[in-house]
């Protein structure tokens, strides 16, 4: 059974076709890279897969379950998590509180408006475990506003991993990072076990190609090249559309 299957996925905004009949078949434990120039439809594809947008046509299956018309929260309960190209965290709260909030979204306790997250020992313990996985356990109680950009990227990854996903979607996790910060994030991603399937959008090809096993190239919302690293890099359409030569 595939971890994620996208069949004929299409989305338009008015007369603009953002995705056109996209097909993906991603195996359990696979590391898949989605590349393409700006405007290729990569983030829109992620938004369709996670349920933040409704497709005009096509289907999405998560571990054999059709989730095409399921809300985002249902997909999260089935094992899908993601990070965003633009970091969306609560800067005035502590790192651990941000992770507890992510965990609360999957807990029945989320319906209690009076809950004090600081008293939720299980959520706190899970949060600390997730932060330890990304090398931030020692600063869990630090206000997020006092962290570096690279540390915030790792907090986002910790929040996603805390939800124990089966499929993790990463939207440009290396964007805006320094060389040292890229190294730290890369180390975190390489340490994620194979029971988590990872689909990543990334422009930093040096890092991304080392990580990915299969690559999908989008152009104007269509898949034009797909294969292993060597096949995609050597394809003349990749050089023309993405690499610029």
Q: How confident is the model at residue 37 (pLDDT cuts 50, 70, 90)?
A: confident
What is the full DSSP assignment across 177-222? --HHHHHHHHHHHHTS-TTSEEEEE-S-HHHHHHH-SEEEEEETTE
Provide, rounded to the nearest whole percent, the portion of the chain with pLDDT above 70. Answer: 89
pLDDT at res. 238 = 87
Separation CA 27–CA 2 (nearest Å):
5
**The residue count for the chain:** 245
Give the residue among 138, 133, 140 at the shortest CA–CA distance from 163.
133
Tens of pLDDT, residue by residue over 119-168, are: 666 778 888 899 999 999 999 999 989 999 999 999 999 989 988 899 99
pLDDT at res. 91 = 67
Separation CA 78–CA 101 (nearest Å):
18
pLDDT surpassing 60 at residue 203:
yes
Output the pTM of the full model: 0.89
Domain boundaries, the chain: 1-79+165-245, 89-164
Average pLDDT value for the chain = 87
131 touches 95 (CB < 8 A): yes
Provide, rounded to the nearest whole percent, the portion of the chain with pLDDT above 90. Answer: 55
pLDDT surpassing 70 at residue 214:
yes
pLDDT at res. 109 = 52
Task: Say which residue, 38 or 136, is predicted with more confidence.
Answer: 136
Separation CA 52–CA 177 (nearest Å):
26
pLDDT at res. 207 = 74
pLDDT at res. 112 = 47
Separation CA 158–CA 177 (nearest Å):
17
pLDDT at res. 245 = 52
Tens of pLDDT, residue by residue over 89-124, are: 766 788 988 888 888 765 545 534 545 556 666 778
pLDDT at res. 104 = 72
pLDDT at res. 122 = 72
Question: What homologous superfamily is domain 1-79+165-245 in, according to CATH?
Answer: P-loop containing nucleotide triphosphate hydrolases (3.40.50.300)
């Amino acid at each position: 059974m595939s971890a994620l299957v996208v069949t004929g996925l299409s989305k338009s905004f008015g007369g603009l076709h953002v995705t056109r009949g996209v097909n993906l078949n991603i195996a359990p434990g696979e590391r898949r890279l989605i590349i393409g120039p700006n405007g290729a439809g990569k983030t829109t594809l992620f938004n369709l897969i996670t349920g933040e947008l409704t497709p005009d046509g096509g289907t999405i299956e998560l571990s054999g379950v059709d989730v095409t018309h399921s809300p985002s929260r249902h997909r999260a309960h089935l094992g899908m998590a993601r990070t965003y190209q633009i970091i969306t965290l609560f800067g005035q709260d502590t790192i651990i509180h941000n992770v507890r909030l992510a965990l609360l979204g999957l807990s029945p306790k989320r319906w209690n408006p009076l809950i004090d997250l600081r008293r939720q020992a299980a959520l706190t313990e899970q949060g600390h475990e997730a932060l330890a996985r990304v090398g931030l356990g020692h600063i869990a109680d630090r206000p997020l506003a006092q962290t570096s950009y690279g540390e915030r990227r790792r907090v986002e990854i910790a929040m996603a991993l805390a939800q124990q996903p089966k499929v993790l979607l990463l939207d440009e996790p290396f964007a805006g990072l320094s060389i040292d910060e890229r190294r730290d994030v890369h180390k975190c991603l390489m340490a994620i076990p194979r029971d988590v399937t990872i689909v990543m959008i990334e422009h930093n090809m040096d890092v991304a190609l080392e990580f990915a096993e299969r690559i999908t190239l989008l152009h104007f919302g269509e898949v034009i090249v797909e294969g292993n690293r060597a096949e995609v890099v050597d394809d003349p359409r990749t050089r023309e559309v993405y690499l610029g030569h």
